[in-house]
Amino acid sequence: MSTTIFKIDWKKGWLNFNKKAFNATDAMSLKRGKLAESKRTVVITGGSRGIGRAVCLRFAREDARIIFVHYDPDDLKANETLGILHKMDVEAKAKKLDISSFGAVEEFFQEVVREFQRVDVLVNNVGITGDAFLMRMSEDQWDEVLTVNLKGVFNCTKAVIRSMIKERSGRIINISSVVGQIGNIGQSNYAASKAGIIGFTKSVARELATRGITVNAVAPGFINTEMTEKLPDKARESFLAQIPMGRIGEPDEVAETVYWLASVSANYITGQVIHVNGGLYM
């Protein structure tokens, strides 16, 4: 019969640590990652909606500890995601965080490591757009997209790797985009940020490979999210005509790929870009 190490405290919404049940053997197993699979600490940026929410729910199925951040104008979508996770009896926490702020991100990850000792998985998912033809694009439009989409990935990755290196274990998955590979009219800023994520992923993967940390990217294509729902019908039809599979992808399909990259099945995979686009880019 197994011993319960964590006990749910529903009043606080967190799991309490049962020190009596945690012996020296358990501690050594945890350090080697044997217990981490059953109770991993997963941080997901942009987790309140769309692909980020789907990633939260996929990791929840393994009973991971979910911590997601968002920067929505209000907490409505974040609370919806939390509500779903709590119904799944999963330990979850949300925080509003500006990932473009180096200091705020560093402080956030320090808090997470102080409370939970480590971060096992980081999913850099936040992404914004600021579309305009280059002739009409303002400097602010360029800077905002690059600062959030690319600098945000740098901020979060830099803040988390120290604890991962200490554990000699970790998974970092960065969400890029098919647009970072093929470009798109009116999205030079977005394409540059997503292409930059790919180069960043490959470089950091080389730096951290000997430390037991894998770094990969997932490049979704046309996915059914709030962002794509805003597209005019003609633009939507144009995208569909370019997809060999003839349909829009679902957030769950991206989430499954992210989860796989964070699993033991992907232990020997690093520095790669996995395309989830129905054949739009091959």
Is residue 281 annotated as a catalytic residue, yes or no?
Answer: no
Q: Please, what is the angle between helix 102-116 and helix 152-167, to 10°?
A: 30
Spatial distance between the Cα atoms of 238 and 241, rounded to a whole number of angstroms: 5
Spatial distance between the Cα atoms of 244 and 201, rounded to a whole number of angstroms: 27
Tokens of 171: 């998974």
Q: Please, what is the angle between helix 50-60 and helix 76-87, to 10°?
A: 20
Q: Catalytic residue, from 190, 259, 268, 281: name it.
A: 190
The residues annotated with a catalytic role in the active site are 190
